[in-house]
Amino acid sequence: MTSPYRTIMLIDDDLINNLLNRQFLTFSIPKATITAFQNAAVVIDYFKKGKIEQPDLILLDINMPEMDGWEFVRQLEAHGRTSDIIILSSSIHADDIQIAQTKDSIKGYIHKPLTEEKIEQNIILQQFSLLGMD
């Protein structure tokens, strides 16, 4: 199966998570170009300055220093960016899931860790879930 996403960006402050998730994605979606960043504020700055292209999909952690995932989504929307976003978080708080449900750009919510099954269901097959049951 092939993914509808050709460019995927990981944003997570944990370097090890980014490395592992990049490997999983590369194995599962070999034709996709995958980039990873540890700082959401840097990504926003790069978008503003035109240093990076908008990806088709962003896998976004919520709990990060300097700029959390929610602030990243607000800034992305304020600048007219239209990438699909899937929250990739260890948070199981109902409030986080509710916030995700209110944002049109957020297409899903995956609980860490990312697995081949979660990639297939949520990214390749696009069976998005905002119920927090992943």
The domain that contains 106 carries what CATH number? Answer: 3.40.50.2300
Domain-embedded: residue 60: yes
| Structural domain range at position 110 | 19-118
Domain-embedded: residue 113: yes
* pLDDT value for 122: 87
pLDDT-derived band at 133 (thresholds 50, 70, 90) equals very low
pLDDT-derived band at 128 (thresholds 50, 70, 90) equals low
Tell me the pLDDT tens digit for each residue of 96-109.
999 999 998 899 99
* Amino acid of residue 44: I
Residue ranges with strand state E in the chain = 7-11, 33-37, 57-60, 84-89, 106-111
pLDDT at 132 exceeding the cut of 50: no
The span from the CA of 40 to the CA of 117, in Å, is 26
Number of structural domains (the chain) is 1
Domain-embedded: residue 39: yes
Domain-embedded: residue 101: yes
Tell me the pLDDT tens digit for each residue of 13-38.
999 999 999 999 999 999 999 999 99
Domain-embedded: residue 124: no
* Amino acid of residue 30: P
Q: What are phi and psi of 102, to 5 degrees?
A: -90, -10
Domain-embedded: residue 50: yes
Domain-embedded: residue 8: no
pTM of the model: 0.90
What's the token pair of residue 39?
């700082």
Domain-embedded: residue 78: yes
